[in-house]
Each structure stands twice: as structure tokens, then as C-alpha cells.
Chains A and B, each alone.
Chain A
Amino acid sequence: MSTSLVFLIVVAIGVVGYFLGRQRALTKDTGGLKPHSLPHYHGWWVFLASALPAVLFLAVWAAATSVYLERTAISELPARTADTVIASQSLELGMVSGIARGLNKLSNEEKANLPQTFVELRPLLSAKGVALAQDGQDYMIPIALEWNKNSIWANNIGGIVAIILAVAGAIFGLSGVHVRARARNNVERVILAALVAASTIAILTTVGIILSMLFQTLTFFQSVSPSTFFFGTVWDPRFAAAGAEGSQGQFGLIPLLAGTIYIAFVAMLFAVPVGLFSAIYMAEYASPKVRSVVKPLLEVLAGIPTIVYGFFALVTVGPFLRDLSAALSGGYAFIQAQSVLTAGIVMGVMLIPFVSSLSDDIITAVPRSLRDGSLGLGSTRSETIRRVVLPAALPGIVGALLLTASRAIGETMIVVLAAGVAANININPFDAMTTITVKIVNQLTGDLEFNSPQTLVAFALGLTLFFITLAMNIFALYIVRKYREQYE
């Protein structure tokens, strides 16, 4: 019995239970009393009583089964020695489960005269659509057969128990149908529980982010000390050769952090004046007609995916700046195509709508009376803006700029395509620098070996990035909230 079949049976029992429960509620002699719940609530309660526990049980059982199967398989694998061909136990396990999956697809006839060696088995399985790596071993076949036998047993037991649970639940639900039964309250309690569960997913995500990265980071710090990571000035991770010992790279955060901050700084240098002045113009000068055209157009910039900006930087802005610098200096291109400047400008363009729409909201939230007072005293509009509106809006704008800066620091695709991969520390904006996000992508694309420091460093970088942006966001939200209270 496959799990999906059992699931369907359980749901079917629940649906039957729904109709039976409703029918029972409709036809039950009320004895002159007013029923507490509408008939369909009785139906739903029967459905929930039968399907919910059974489905939960199935989920738990499926998880437990997979753990059990892996444990048994590991205990049956021969002890790992120096000349074990396959690099890690998890790879071995993956191969065994692959063979088991393939064996399930064979016909009875093929199963009867099963080849005993992996070399013969492999083409047979790949004909069934299960492609396996070449270095499978013969000893895996009996383990895979055992795996399948156990999994059939576990599935059958789990299926039978789930169906019994469903039937028992349905009977329990049906037996509870009577005039004063509070079926609606029961159903609503389940709904409320579901709502609470949904809203905890947000917390679970944060916990998941922190725990998963913390776990990997701690493993990373076992091979590289935190002080050399946080204060190291050389980034040279070397390659993670599978199984090779001693290829210890250098993992210095400083060059990456410097590049990240430098590029974000250039981007903000471009985006803040442009975004702020657009916001001021739209909030204070533009007629409603101009505003209704320009504002959505600027927001189009925010809707364009960052990969498109990256491509724009790579094929248009980068070459343009390089050719421009070559033309200016007469031959020598002092701006490289991949440079801090290219990445900064393009990222700045991406940030314009963030700065402008956030500041626009804040500027328009400044009370009318402040403006009227200033204008009434005879100051011009620009004086009003500079001396009255902007100071009043300043905390909000600082908050908005912090939010924007955290976005610049966490931005990935533009810098991957436009900033380069060389981890230098320099102050020349025409040279290439690299960022934390670029290195996370670099370390984690390609074949992964999950216990090498070369891979794990990406999680340490990710955690650093997460905490930097988290701190900026919390601080920004704090400022924005505090400011908002002043005028409400």
C-alpha cells in the first residue's frame, strides 16, 4: 500500500463521514429542542475527527519510516575503510536508496532472475529511468532488497493503522451527533488552531534561518578559528578537492566586507540624491497629473528583476564606462568593465524607486499646517522644504535610507554579474571588488562536499550578512515607528 493511496482512502472515509454526519444531524429527532449547530457543522466535525488524526499519523509514520530505513541500511553497510571507493557514507546511502527505487520498478519476471553484480544491474535500471552513478558496489544490492522489504512492511502497517484510525474517528464523530452537541464550536476550534499554526510559520522561518546557518557556521569554526575569519585580510579559499586533506585556504572576511560596503556606498551616493529629489518634486511641486504618470513609471524600476539589472550592467553599462574611459585617456581604459563603479551605479538605479517612494510617503505625512505656517511667513517653497519639511521628516527619511542600504548590502545578482570576483581591498572605484553575496554564490554553485570549510564558509558569510541586515532593519523600523507616533 503506497502512502498516497492510503491518504486518498483516509480522505475518502472522511468525506463519507461528512455526508453521514450531516444526514444524521438532519434526520435526528430533535425532541422539540433547537439544534445547537447547523447540520453541515456536524458533517465537518465527523470529517475532521476521522481524517485529521489519520493524516497526522501518516505524516509522522512516513518520517519515522525513512529514518528507520536509513538506520538499518547504515548498520548493514560494511565498515568504512581507507580503500572504500565512495567518498562518504551519505553518498553510499543515496546509492542504496537509488538502487532500491530502481528495483521497485522491475517486473516480477526480472526480479526472479536478478543479476548479482552492480555492473549488470545498472543498465537494467537505467532502462527503467533510474540513472545511477558508475561506482555502485555489489554489496549494495542485498541491502537495497532488504530496504524494499522493510519499506513495504512499514508502509503496510502504517496504512492499516491509519485506516483503522480514520474509521474509528468517523465512528466517534458520528456517535457524538445529537441535538445539543456543540459541533460548530469544535470545528471552529480546529480552524483557530490551523490559523495559529499558519502564523507561527513566520517565526519558524526565522528560527530555521538562524539555526541552520548557526549549525553550519559552528562546524566551520571548528576548522577555521573565528578570529581569522572575522579579522583576516586575505580571501583565498582554494578549491574543495573531494577527500583531499591539507588544502587549507584562507578565509578573511575583511576584503569581502570592504567590497560590500564600498559598492553599497557608491550605490547610495547615486540613489539618495536622485531618489530624494524625485520624491521632493513629486510630493511638493508636481501637479497630480504629472504625479500620476511619473510615480508608476519610477515604480516600474522597482518591479524589474535584479538579474535584468545585472545583465544591463554586464552588456551595456560596463562596456560603456570602459570605452568612455579609454576615449578620455586616449587608449588606456582605466575603468574596468567589471568595477565598483559599474555595480554601484546600476545598483543605485535599482534603489531609486525604494528611496523615492519611501521618502515620498514620509514627506506627504508631514502635516499641512507646518507647510502653511512657513509659507505664510513668506518663505519660498524650497525654503519651506529645506528648513521645515525635511527636518520634520528627517527621522523617517533616515529610517528609509537605512532600509535601502540594507537592501544594497544584501543584493546579489547585480554584483555577481557586474562587480567581479577578485577579493581585493582598494579604494579605486574603477577596479573590481567583490562582495559577501558574490562569494556565497561562488562557494555554493557546482559540486558540493558538505563538510569542507570551502562550502561551510558560505553559511558563516550568510549569517554575518543576516545579522548586519537584521540590525539595520530593526534600527530602521524603530526609527520609523518612533517618528510615526509624533503626528498621530
Chain B
Amino acid sequence: MTDISLNPAGISAKPARRDIGLKRRYAAERRFKLYGIAAIAIGMFFLVALLYSVLSNGYTAFWQTEVNLAINLDPKIIDPDNKRATDPKVLLTANYPVLARNALAEKLGVSSSDKAGMRELGKLFSEGVRGQLRELVVSNPSLIGTTQNVWVLTGADIDSAFKGQIDLSVDQSRRKVSDKQVEWMNKLKSEGVMAQRFNTGLFTYGASSRPETSGLGVALIGSLYMMLIVLFLSLPIGVAASIYLEEYAKKNRLTDIIEVNINNLAAVPSIVFGLLGLAVFINFFHMPRSASLVGGLVLTLMTLPTIIIATRAALRAVPPSIRAAALGIGASKTQMVFHHVLPLAAPGILTGTIIGLAHALGETAPLLLIGMVAFVANSPVTPLDPSTALPVQIYMWANEAERAFVERTSGAIIVLLLFLAVMNITAIILRRRFERRW
């Protein structure tokens, strides 16, 4: 106060503004804010790049090029010695691809004496035609001698060319389809005989060395079994453990150890669970390798901490007044927990379980160690049969070099991401709808 009165000149004159670096400080403020926006933009960019890379590589996998052939099931080729009535092996081992090749040759007007032409023709359609026609004939032998219209898969290279994934401008010696084959392909396309159809094989076939006949059938069944095992083991065990820790356990050394333990298990690298499964379930208990049972058990142990942590949070969110009221009207402690607290915590538990399951569905590393990297062509019937899992199948396809496998891999990733999206969205909806705030 006294300072001001000592300086009478200052009252009328405007004080010179002291430079406190406001400009610089505001610039720093703007820069800082910009860094934040840039960081978020980088994160978003990679999310978009990842999804774009998968989608653009993979959406074509859901369509497969097929060609409609009028195949004459010639008894002279299927059964040259006419022994099919006595020897059942004849129909199983007959040379079916020749039938498809002849049908195609007829269609395109290639003479059967043109050896080189016939060889190139044979590469137009997939070797998978053998199994397809065999199934047709074995299931209904009376078809022999008739002419059937059949949609036949094209070879993987033709499929890629048809989808425009092979650069046709380079010299034919440097690409996998010859000019002749492209000419035939275009001819068949203009006649409407060759077309892209929905790829049901992607969801039904098992492992195969040919891209066009390999699919996710085995992997889907294996993953389904594992998810069921994880659900039926980890949900009851996880809920029981959480109830004990949250409602019954006294605060002592032991519960402290269990608690630290669970938090640590949640952060243990997943591959360590694979080593555990290999050493304990396979090496010690002699369970079968590659079986979805072992995979399910390993994933259960891995998911348990997640479910326990979520369940405990849900139990803790139930207000103590509910417990006091239940006990007050004469319920025993067990009745209080199971009749009142647990139903109120159920939505939270369910949400946590679904998120844990989604996590388990995408997990690959532990499954590699218990032998799920296997070439399994036939669908598993029980959880003890060899099978693969969705992410493991992706891993195996990712190691294949062919272009068509990149497409399949991306397609499989889309399937996996769709499953995960559905599970997570379900969890979010459940949370939104049933979440209670006291």
C-alpha cells in the first residue's frame, strides 16, 4: 500500500508491461496440446492401417472362383474293368480329375491329342475336384454314366488371376498363369460359366496344402471346444474363488499371498502357461497332444485371474446395506451371498467373463507349445481328438508363402476379429443395460 503512495507519477501513467514471456508460454501451450493430438492421431493411424491392411487383403477370401462344368461321369474312366460291384475300392481310387479335364477340354475345344494344352488345362481347376466328384459318385453310384452340372473350384493361381490380384502385364514366364490360361479364363467368364461364388469351403474345410481347399473348419470346432471348456471351468472356479476372497476370507497372511498371486498371474507372459501345460498336462498326466481339452485347460488357467479380478470388482460394487439387510432378516451368510449378493453382481461377472473369453479366443502362444500346430484335415469329434484353433490356424497360414494363403490368412483374421467384436459388443451392451449405480 505504502509503495504506491510513494510514487504519485505512476498513477496516471500506464505501467510499462513487463515481459513475462506470455507469447512463448502460449506457444509452448499450443505445442503441448498439439503433441497430444499428434499422439492420438498416430494411434488412430495405426488402428486404421491395421484394419485396412487386413480388410483389403482379406475380403476377397470370402468369394472363391468356381467353374460350372457339365461332367460326363464316364464309366470307362471311373471303372475301366467294370469291377465296382465287387470291389468297393474302385470308386474310391478312380481318376476323377480326368473327368473334369475332359469336360473342360470339350467346353473350350481343346483336342485330347494336344498334350501341352491338356496339361495347362488341368491346372485350371483345383485338385480338390477329386474329393468332390468321389463324394458325389460314392454317395450315389447310379449317377455313373450320366452327365452332371457341377461347380468345380478353380486352382489357386487362376483364382488370384480372376480376382485381378496377379499383374497380367508382365511376361507370362514370370507369372504363375500362362497367356493361354488367361484367354480360357476370359472366355469362360464371358460365357458366365466361371464366376465367383460364396466361399463356404473357408468355413468347412480342414488343413490342406492347396490354398483353395484349406479352410477353418477344424480350427472353428477346436476353438469352440476350448471356449466351452474355458467357460465351464473358469466361470465357476473364478466366481467361487472371488466369493471366498471377497466375502469370507479374513485379512491375514494367506489371503494376502493369494491376492498378490492372482495379480501376478494376470501379468505372467502367456507363453509360460504353455510351458506349464506342456510339462504338467502332456508330460506328466499323459494327455493327448494337440487336443482341444489340453488347450482349454491351459486357457482356463490363463483366464482365471482376469475373471477373478472382474468378479471381485463386481462383488465389491454391491452395497453393504444389501448384506446387512439380508443378515438382519435371518439369512445365513451363505444364503446372503448366494441369494442376494451374487444375483446383483451377475451382470458385472458376466461382462468380465465375456471379456476374458474374448482374450482367450485370440491367444496363440501357449497353444503353439502344446502341439496345436498340427496338420489336421479331419474334423475333431471329441475334445480329445487332434485339432487346431482359430489363431493357430492364422499363424500356420501366415507362414505359407503363396499369395493365395495371404488372402486366406486375412480372411481368417476377419473371422476372428468379427467373433471378438461380437463378444466385446455383447459385453458392452450387457454393462450398459444392467449396470446399477447405488
Residues of chain A having any CB pair with chain B under 8 Å: 94, 184, 188, 191-192, 194-203, 205-206, 208-209, 212-213, 215-216, 273-278, 280-282, 285, 294, 297-298, 300-301, 303-312, 314-316, 349, 352-353, 356, 380-383, 385-386, 403, 406-407, 409-413, 416-417, 437, 440-441, 444-445, 450, 458-459, 462, 465-466, 469-470, 473-474, 477
Contacts and interface: CB of A to CB of B under 8 A. Distances in A.
14 contacts: A203-B261, A209-B273, A212-B279, A212-B280, A304-B420, A305-B361, A305-B362, A308-B50, A308-B394, A353-B43, A410-B270, A459-B275, A465-B269, A477-B263
Contacts of A407: 267, 269
A459 B273 CA distance: 11
A181 B262 CA distance: 39
Nearest to B391: A307
Contacts of A200: 258
Contacts of B249: 199
Given A281-B39, A311-B398, A450-B283, A462 B332 contact: no
Interface stretch (B167-175, B240-248, B430-438): B240-248
B241 A199 contact: yes
B74 interface: no
B241 A300 contact: no
Contact of B304 (A202, A303, A305, A312): A202
B240 A195 contact: yes
B88 to A, nearest CB: 13
B413 A441 contact: no
Interface of B: 25-26, 28-29, 31-33, 35-40, 42-44, 46-47, 49-50, 53-54, 57, 236-238, 240-241, 243-245, 248-249, 257-258, 260-265, 267-276, 278-280, 283-284, 286, 301, 304-305, 308, 332-334, 358, 361-365, 368-369, 373, 391, 394-395, 398, 406, 409-410, 413, 416-417, 420, 424
A410 B265 contact: no
A469 B54 contact: no
B281 to A, nearest CB: 10
A382 to B, nearest CB: 4
B398 A417 contact: yes
B391 A473 contact: no
Top-4 shortest CB links A-B = A410-B269, A281-B36, A305-B362, A277-B39
Residues of A contacting B: mostly = helix
A440 B37 CA distance: 40
A470 B268 contact: yes
Contacts of B363: 305
A210 to B, nearest CB: 9
Given A198-B236, A417-B395, 14 more contacts: A199-B244, A203-B258, A209-B275, A213-B279, A298-B44, A305-B420, A307-B362, A311-B410, A316-B50, A416-B395, A441-B369, A465-B272, A469-B267, A477-B264
Given A199-B240, A412-B269, A413-B365, A309 B50 contact: yes
Contacts of A316: 49-50, 53
B39 A275 contact: yes
